[in-house]
Amino acid sequence: MNKVPRFISLMSDTTAKALLKDKRYSWFYEDIIKFKTSIDLTKYKLVDAEMNTGNKAKDYRADLIYEKGKHLINLELNQFIHEYTLTKNLYYALRLAGYGYLSGENYDERYVTQINLNNKVGNDGNKDNSLIDYKLQDPKYAKILKNINIVDIYLLNYKGIRYNGTNKYETYLSMLTANSYEEMEEIVGDLEEGRIIMEKLKELGLDDKFGMYYDAEIVHKKEVNSARKEGANNERKSIAKAMLKAGESVSKVMNYTGLNKKEIKMLM
Length of the chain: 268
- pLDDT tens-digit map of 86-107: 788 888 888 888 765 554 556 6
**Which pLDDT belongs to residue 52?**
45
Alpha helices in the chain (DSSP H): 13-20, 27-37, 56-61, 85-99, 168-175, 181-188, 192-205, 208-225, 229-245, 250-257, 261-265
Residue 226, pLDDT above cutoff 70: no
Question: Are residues 147 and 156 in contact, defined by beta-carbon separation less than 8 angstroms?
Answer: no
Residue type, 3: K
- pLDDT tens-digit map of 35-74: 999 999 999 998 864 444 455 555 444 578 999 998 999 9
Average pLDDT of the residues in 210-238: 72
Percentage of the chain exceeding pLDDT 90? 47
**Which pLDDT belongs to residue 198?**
98
Closest CA to 94 of 52, 54, 145: 145
**Distances from the Cα of 224 to the Cα of 78, 80, 88, angstroms:** 13, 10, 12
- pLDDT tens-digit map of 137-162: 877 788 888 899 999 999 999 999 99
**Which pLDDT belongs to residue 50?**
45
Question: Are residues 199 and 225 in contact, defined by beta-carbon separation less than 8 angstroms?
Answer: no
Most confident of 83-92, 124-133, 158-167, 223-232: 158-167
**Which pLDDT belongs to residue 183?**
98
Q: What share of the chain is helix, strand, coil (3-state, %, to 5)?
A: 50, 20, 35
Give the torsion sign (CA, 37, 15, 80, 113): negative
**Which pLDDT belongs to residue 49?**
42
β-bridge pairing 106-108 and 101-103: antiparallel
Query: Cα 2 to chain center, whole Å?
Result: 30
Closest CA to 87 of 69, 107, 114, 61: 114
Q: What's the CA gap between 251 and 79, in Å, rounded?
A: 28
